[in-house]
Amino acid sequence: MTRTARVAFEGAIHSASEHAQGLRLADGRVLAETQVVWLPPFDVGTIIALGINYADRARELAKELTMSAKDEPLAFLKAPNALVGHRGVTRRPADAAFMHYECELAVVIGGVAKNVKRADAMRFVAGYTVANDYAVRDYLENWYRPNLRVKNRDGCTAIGPWLVDAADVPDPHALGLRTWVNGRVTQQGNTRDLINDVPALIEYLSSFMTLAPGDVILTGTPEGVVNVNPGDEVVCEIDGIGRLLNAIESS
């Protein structure tokens, strides 16, 4: 399996690969995870995020939603400032009443995609990584339409640690997702429950915008989000993709 990363070490940015002792830099040096600063594992282009894209999450919020199976995917854009790497810190605003994680499969685009049909969509996927797209629920204009302040705060989205080649993920629609808060499992789901799967999202998005290499689609989170507080350690894991660790601090 090909897993690659980007890290900062001794004043330079390095490509790295997975190693039994942590990671191996391109120059051959082997380091522990804690010796480097982890960056997003690829050069990030446009960040496209999906809201309410799991059937169980839609049921969880059913009393607060006005949506149907005929609705288009709920997609929105995020700015690069929102990203932080593996083992990075996300800050909880002092006035937040309910801030929660969102464990998500992130799909990385590998080619220029315009007006792509569903049958051809997977050819444009370079690989996958893990994302944790935090939200402050009391900042929402309502319960299901994320506004700018909710999803574009500095460092509000952890991503990584690895970019896993698409060829090493036989079925991205059969992956278990789990989130731990301080060592306790608080969220479990599976990508088989996506409302709009990866080919559908690529077909939909490429019908009105050109996708380019490095663009990334955050595919949404299943049910089971809970409030997190300063001092909490949050781990999001997706089968075969990796474990993404993130810490919460006060703003």
Q: Does a cis peptide bond (omega within 30 degrees of 0) precede residue 161?
A: yes
- Contact 30/21 with Cβ under 8 angstroms? yes
pLDDT at 55: 78
**pTM for the full model?**
0.93
CA angle 162, 164, 166 (to 5 degrees): 160
Q: In this predicted structure, what is the pLDDT of residue 52?
A: 86
What's the rounded mean pLDDT across residues 162-172? 98
- Token pair belonging to 210: 């050109």
How are beta strands 135-136 and 74-78 bridged, if at all?
Answer: unpaired
Q: Which residues 6+ apart lie within 8 Å of 162 measured at CB?
A: 3, 4, 5, 18, 41, 129, 241, 242
Given this model, what pLDDT does residue 65 score?
A: 55
Q: Answer yes or no: are the C-beta atoms of 60 and 31 closer than 8 Å.
A: no
> Of the given ranges (9-18, 25-34, 146-155, 206-215), which has the lowest mean pLDDT?
146-155
Contacts of 12 (CB under 8 A, 6+ apart): none
Could you give all domains of the chain from N- to C-terminal order, each with its CATH number? 1-39 (2.30.30), 42-250 (3.90.850.10)
5 or 148: which leads in pLDDT: 5
Torsion sign across C-alpha atoms 133, 136, 139, 142: positive
Using a pLDDT cut of 90, give the percent of the chain over it: 84
pLDDT at res. 83: 98
- CA 124 to CA 109: how far, in whole Å? 6
